[in-house]
Structure 1
Amino acid sequence: MTQKFRQLLQQPETLILPGVYDCISAKLAERIGFEAIFTSGFGISGSTLGKPDYGFLTATEMLNSAGKIAESVTIPLIADIDTGYGNPLNVIRTVTDIVRLGIAGIILEDQELPKKCGHFAGKRVIPAADHIQKIRAAVHARGKSELVIIARTDARAPLGLDEAINRGRAYYEAGADIIFIEAPQSLEDLQAIASALPNVPLFANMIEGGKTPVLSGQQLQALGFKIVVYPLSGLFAATKAMMDCLSHLRQQATTAGFSNLVSFPEFEQLIDVPHYRQLEQQFTVSDASPPGETG
């Protein structure tokens, strides 16, 4: 998967990725034709804990979710591993597990613990020198796996755009493959980032209602961004659809008349029921004797 993702990065077009938060959203993205996906920490925190992206997810919970998602699809997955869950030694442990799970890339950010969603107020960042050591630790831990390392800085809000750009440059020099300057606050910010880092692969994060103006992939490609992600679009759409469905059920005491549902057979196809039916038939066992009895 790492090689497959690196091949995608060699293409001249900007790569458009949807954020996913569970296996269903991942499988839908693959079926619709996306070539790669990434996990949204915001989405996983909300969907698995019912809590905001305030650093509540542990490394174990994030890796468990990301590992299951990666296993459910045949396209590369980029995992949001927040701050790496500690110091450089913790980053080494986390990245080692990421490689073992067959994940294609990671996003590693420079916030202080507990971290927050990149579009929340009140963020604080660690010294750039400390994050450089985390990046070097991640490069060490990936070994020969070719894991793609996306270094994220949240310095724009607390320290200003110039410091964020300087950190991005330093993180790239430390060994990161792609630079992610989180939460630019205007089109001018995005233009300044691309202009200041012309030879650095750049990552743009498009959150509806967030700090950054939401542009199209074509617009961001013209600016010079290599990866554009829409991390919460699927989560927001699914939440709205579920709200509408449950409201209809509450008001009508039935789902009759609610048309925005996939059919039972369609959902069976999505979760590969025909495949498992075939396996069930292939390995049918006799029901003549209860378990544990030989007759």
Structure 2
Amino acid sequence: MKTAPQFFRHGPGPFARLFVFALLSCLLIAEDLRFKYFPELRQAIGIVIFPLQKIAYIPTHIYDQIEELIASFYLLEENIKLRERYLKDREQLLKLHALEAENIQLRQLLGAIQQIETNTKAKAVLAEIMYTPRDPFNHKITLNKGSFHDIQLGQAVIDDKGIVGQITRLYPWSSEVTLLTDKNHSVPVQVLRNSLRSVVSGTGKNDELELRYLSVSTDIRQGDLLVTSGIGGVYPPGIPVATVLRIEQDPIDDFAQVISTPVAGVDRNRQVLILSLAQPIPNNSLEMPKN
């Protein structure tokens, strides 16, 4: 009668194995504490197998490099998309800031319109600046309102701060404004503090006006506000024009040189107000466009 073949050979029992391994562990611990042979053996074995470890780690290193390359590619692509989105959002944000600033300036102009119509009975028309000169010696701007919009020569142009200039050329759908700083432009003014009347004139320099032919004994101080006097019928009275910047006195001269700076500025606005005339201005007293 045939017996079934044995697939596994029976060895020592579990307790015998446990005893052998426990004894071996104790011997190794005692040797490591007493004789110190195994650390040197481990170092020798480590030196021998170090190249094998490097070779074994090559596939893992290559896999990590490929993974980092793929991650860098995705990060670069995501970075490009985020940058494009940032530029678009920044453009929209800048537009929003510009609209907000324009909205604030329009509200200020609306308040100026109500104040002017209440105090001076003059009517105001809102106009937009179409062109400002790049030439520092050209002190003229162009507005988008002309004779088609019932604009007349000589009308004063202001912003929410004060006088900007006067319309000196007229076209059907546009008009040209001579700024206060133009050397050929003058405005009758008075000192708000003491009602002293004078005439402020442009010097041809940006942000600089001059009060001419004032005696050295004239009661005028640095920081005085100059407003329109209303003389001449071009500018309604009481509108701010300039602030006295400095007073220069020459001992051998009978007149003081009073330098002031305009309170208004076209470089800060896109919209201005055109005021109606207090009285008609003769056409031959202002520049007209040549045919």
TM-score range relative to shorter protein: under 0.3
Quick check: which has more Rg, 1 or 2?
Answer: 2
Instruction: State the TM-score, normalized to the length of structure 2.
Output: 0.23
Q: Highest relative contact order (Cα 8 Å, sep 6+), 1 or 2?
A: 1
Instruction: State the TM-score, normalized to the length of structure 1.
Output: 0.23
Hey, which of these two has a bigger chunk of strand by percent?
Answer: 2
